[in-house]
A and B are shown apart, each in its own frame.
Chain A
Amino acid sequence: MRWALLLPVLVATAARAEDRATVRGAYYREASTKVVQPMVEVSKDLPLGFDVYAHGLVDAITSPSILTGVMGDNIFTEHRKEAGLAVGKLINLTHVSLSYRQSREPDYVSHSVGVQVQQSVWENTGAVSMALAYSRDTIGPFLDKRLEVGFAGLSYEQAVSPVLRGLVGYELAYLNGFLCNPYDADARGRAVCPKQRVRHVGVLKLARYFPRAATGLQLHYRLYYDQWWEPKADPWGLSAHTVEGRLYFDVTPYLEVRLGYRFHTQGWALFRFCGDPSRVMDPDCLPEILTYHTGDEKFGSLRTHLTELKLTWEARALAGVPVLAWFAPGAFELSYGQYFQTTHYRNAHLLQTGYSLPF
Chain B
Amino acid sequence: MSSRVLPALLLLGLVGLQAGGCARLPPPVKPWQRGYLAKRAMMFDDGLEGRFRQHLFGGAREGADGGYFKVGGGCGCN
Contact = CB atoms under 8 A, between A and B. Distances in A.
Nearest to B77: A4
Contacts of A51: none
Interface string A120-143: 011111101101010101011000
Interface string A281-322: 000000000000000101110101010000010000000000
A83 interface: no
A311 to B, nearest CB: 12
Given A175-B78, A302-B62, A165 B69 contact: no
Contacts of B64: 224, 226, 238-240, 242, 264, 266
Interface residues of B, number: 57
Given A4-B78, A125-B28, A159-B37, A173 B57 contact: no
B61 A345 contact: yes
- Of A3, A123, A182, A354, most B-chain CB atoms within 10 Å: A3
Contacts, number: 274
Contacts of B4: 172, 198, 200
A261 interface: no
A149 B73 CA distance: 7
A154 B8 contact: yes
Contacts of A350: 56
Interface residues of A, number: 123
Interface of B is mostly: helix
Interface string B34-61: 1111011111110111111011111111
A338 interface: no
A162 B15 CA distance: 21
Contacts of A97: none
Contacts of B71: 6-7, 9, 112, 114, 133, 135, 149, 151, 173
25 contacts: A8-B70, A14-B45, A35-B56, A37-B52, A114-B71, A128-B19, A147-B74, A149-B72, A154-B12, A157-B44, A159-B29, A160-B29, A163-B42, A169-B67, A171-B69, A182-B76, A205-B44, A207-B43, A209-B37, A215-B41, A264-B57, A264-B64, A302-B62, A304-B57, A341-B61
